[in-house]
Amino acid sequence: QSVLTQPPSASGTPGQRVTISCSGSSSNIGSNTVNWYQQLPGTAPKLLIYSNNQRPSGVPDRFSGSKSGTSASLAISGLQSEDEADYYCAAWDDSLNGPGVFGGGTKLTVL
Partner 1 sequence: EVQLVESGGGLVQPGGSLKLSCAASGFTFSGSAMHWVRQASGKGLEWVGRIRSKANSYATAYAASVKGRFTISRDDSKNTAYLQMNSLKTEDTAVYYCTADYYDSSGYAECGYWGQGTLVTVSS
Residue numbers of the site for partner 1 (CB under 8 A)?
A: 2, 35, 37, 44-47, 50-51, 54, 56-57, 86, 88, 90, 92, 97-105
Between 24 and 45, name the residue whose CB sits nearer to partner 1. Answer: 45
Between 26 and 97, name the residue whose CB sits nearer to partner 1. Answer: 97
Min separation Cβ 102 and partner 1, Å: 4
Between 36 and 79, name the residue whose CB sits nearer to partner 1. Answer: 36
Instruction: Give CA separation, 90 vs 12, 24, 41, 79, 105, in Å.
Output: 23, 10, 19, 22, 10
* Separation CA 8–CA 2 (nearest Å): 12
Between 24 and 105, name the residue whose CB sits nearer to partner 1. Answer: 105
Min separation Cβ 1 and partner 1, Å: 11
Q: With 0-12 CB in 10 A as exposed, 13-18 as middle and 19+ as buried, what is 55? A: middle
Min separation Cβ 99 and partner 1, Å: 5
SS3 81: helix
Q: Which of 18, 1, 8 is nearest to 78 (CA)?
A: 18
Min separation Cβ 30 and partner 1, Å: 18
Check: CB of residue 62 under 8 Å from CB of residue 52: no
